């Protein structure tokens, strides 16, 4: 029945494919979580927001000095 023709073989192949994709997604997810990429991205996003605030404040001071 392993890989045989017919409905049983098709069901077996589908089940194996689903299991393979599930295991692959778990491996990829754990690799991403262990690399701390999401934490580093959160830190970078926070720094970018702070820089944008500083740049906006500097622009306001420059505009006030010109007027």
Q: What is the pTM of this model?
A: 0.50
CA distance 23 to 29: 10
CA distance 1 to 31: 35
Q: What is the pLDDT of residues 23-41, one digit of tens each?
A: 999 999 998 888 888 888 8
Taking every pair of C-alpha atoms in the chain, what is the biggest distance, in angstroms?
85
More confidently predicted of 3 and 44:
44
CA distance 44 to 52: 12
Give the CA distances from residue 3 to residues 8, 18, 19, 30, 44, in Å, rounded to whole numbers and listed in that order: 8, 15, 16, 31, 50
């Amino acid at each position: 029945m392993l890989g045989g023709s017919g409905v049983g073989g098709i069901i077996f192949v589908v089940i194996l494919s689903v299991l393979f994709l599930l295991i692959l997604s778990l491996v990829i997810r754990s690799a991403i979580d262990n690399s701390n990429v999401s934490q580093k991205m959160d830190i970078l996003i926070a720094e970018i927001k702070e820089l944008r605030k500083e740049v906006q404040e500097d622009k306001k001071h420059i505009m006030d000095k010109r007027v």
